[in-house]
Chains A and B, each alone.
Chain A
Amino acid sequence: MRRAGKFLLVAGVVATLGATGTVFAYAGGWTLPDNPAAFTAKVATMPRGIEPSVAKQSGQAVITWSAQEIAPGVRMDHYSVTAHSVSDPPRPDVTHTVAAGGGSTESIIFAASEVAGGRWRWTIVPRLRQWIGAESRPSRRLTFPAAPVGRAATAPADPADPVAPVAPEPAPAATTSRGRSPDPATTSPGRSPDPAATGDEPGTVTPEQTTTAPEPLTSASGVVEPPPAGQ
């Protein structure tokens, strides 16, 4: 009987431990501490603008640059194109923000009235939604002759532009040294006049510089501009 008692005791302990272990295995024994996984989501950076190519075309400035992406297949939706005056004295910068065309290259034309009589370099700033990238390196310089007065003086003022002052009286037609017909005037609608426009500085006159009249110039929008300096 003594042996039977010992056996009973051992069997009871073993059975109890087995049953308890099973209960642990199926229940609280698998409770795990909270240590969630952490993953990284990286945000792209806005690219720096690409140095544009510039060319003169009928007195206008044609600015061209490659479209830019923030991620593969995701292009900028706008670009800010700024003409920086390198004339002496300098003229105010002229900035246009243009919507992207969706192609691999983008371009914009600065009208002759915007660039005439100045020396300019252009930069590009890419934009996506509200994000703005860094400004590109400036393009090479282009020098534009002062706008021929004859054409501009006869251009009618824009009646839809309430801020455009009307020239007191048309300036006499400027004479051109070669009798060249002036380029058609195109100005940005509603653009404010350029009070600091002084024309091209001495020494930067290009062969296209043909105006000789010092009279005030009148642009197509009817804004009176001072005559080019040094003439």
Chain B
Amino acid sequence: MLKSSWTAAAAAAVLAGVLVAVAPDPPSVRDGDALLLVGRDGDQPDGPLHFVLEGKPVRGLYPGAVKQMKITVRNPLGFRISLQRLTATVSSSSRRGCPATAGNLRVREYSGRLPATVAATGRTELDGSIPIVMPVNASEKCAGADFTITVSGVGHRMSR
């Protein structure tokens, strides 16, 4: 009997060791767990994404225009998150003669306060916005074009 007890204990210890070995490093600060906030186009309920960035299209750009793109963060998770950083880039253009370059369209840094807290299973429209700037000397071929602005963010998990 003593032998089987030792056998059981040893097996449990080995199993625990294996699981701990394959597990990732535990966080050093529980409230500061880093999470990548990513957005998506449309609803993908079965997708792997946990955070969603939403925004309305910007319209009516013209040479010299500065338009503000408002962003809403939707958090479907059961704990609060803290949005630490938002980044945006001009990724493409619908017109061949109007490339997605800084000479035709620029995106400035997010203008609001960060970090911003989003409640568990909550939704928050950020107080700031991302300025979209069309330079004065933008190409005339950009008239009527559609630019794609790619937005992503990084946040932290907050305490439960």
Contact = CB atoms under 8 A, between A and B. Distances in A.
B146 A40 contact: yes
Given A13-B15, A46-B143, A36 B49 contact: no
A68 B56 CA distance: 27
A36 B57 contact: no
A132 B33 CA distance: 53
B110 interface: no
B12 A13 contact: yes
A31 interface: yes
Contacts of A42: 57-61, 145-147
A35 interface: yes
B151 A37 contact: yes
Interface residues of B, number: 69
Contacts of A20: 19-20, 23
Dominant SS at the B interface?
mixed
B39 A30 contact: no
Contacts of B60: 42, 44, 70-72, 74
A6 B140 contact: no
A160 interface: no
Interface stretch (A21-29, A174-182, A198-206): A21-29
B41 interface: yes
Given A12-B12, A12-B16, A16-B16, A1 B1 contact: yes
